[in-house]
Amino acid sequence: MTRHADGSSAVMIRRMGSLYLVRHGQASFGAADYDQLSPTGREQCRRLGVYWRERGQRFDAVFTGTLRRHAQSLAGLVEGYGEDLPAVALPGLNEYDSEAVVRAIHPEPLGAPTDAEAVKQHFRLLRQGLLAWMHGESRPAGMPAYADFSAGIAGALDRARAVGVGRHVLIVSSGGPIATAVGQVLACPPESCVELNLRIRNSAVTEFAFNPRRHHLVSFNTLPHLDAPDARGLVTHA
């Protein structure tokens, strides 16, 4: 950014806030109850808290979804951070129901994804189901229309921006809402949003800068807290 003689570039920088969107730690993929962090997921989040504590990162507001894995991820982060982070839970930050998305296009029963081929089939069907839902071609049972799902995420971004410029905001959510948020900021088509969703790693950080009018993407899907050699086994996707 060019610095003007009147110092206006410095003023502009101060007028930007920062929003950090964190995907929950590894949950229990393939288990009867997915909405439960694994020990790996808790350690991922604890290390993120340590990373931010060591760098003096502060947060002026924290928002989460209402799912157990969101609350457990924040608890792990707080453990490493060493300081409480009171949060406001927003249903608009909750993940879609992946099983309902798949059933809407593939009503036949599917076995648990316990081997590589079953996992590939699961994600192939999930990709197809997400696109059908996003294009209005399916209505998964118990889920809102995609426009309403997207509106909930837009509302959460508005809440974050309302905290104020120069402030630091944390959101702990899931891959679907975070990918949708990135898609809204970049005006991505549904196909790109699905690919973003399926690439987000557990406990990954996506950063936005914001002013009173809009958000700007700074980084996507980063794992600085898992960059040490002893953390390579902690990088997970599902």
pLDDT of res. 186: 98
pLDDT of res. 3: 42
* CATH fold of 17-95+145-234: Rossmann fold (3.40.50)
Q: Which residue has the tokens 């989460």?
A: 64
For 78, the enclosing helix (H) or strand (E) is helix 68-81
Q: Which of 148, 151, 106, 156 is nearest to 126 (CA)?
A: 106
pLDDT of res. 33: 72
Domain with CATH 3.40.50.1240 in the chain: 17-95+145-234
> 169 near 63, Cβ under 8 Å?
yes
pLDDT of res. 5: 44
pLDDT of res. 193: 98
Task: For residue 213, give the amino acid letter.
Answer: R
pLDDT of res. 29: 66
Backbone angles phi, psi at 219, to 5 degrees: -150, 160
pLDDT of res. 30: 61
Q: Which of 175, 177, 161 is nearest to 216 (CA)?
A: 161
pLDDT tens for the chain, residues 1 to 238: 334 344 444 444 457 999 999 999 999 866 667 789 999 999 999 999 999 999 999 999 999 999 999 999 999 999 999 999 999 999 999 999 999 999 999 998 877 777 788 788 888 999 999 999 999 999 999 999 999 999 999 999 999 999 999 999 999 999 999 999 999 999 999 999 999 999 999 999 999 999 999 999 999 999 999 999 999 899 999 8
Alpha-carbon distance 225 to 56, whole Å? 14
pLDDT of res. 92: 97
pLDDT of res. 149: 98
pLDDT of res. 8: 43
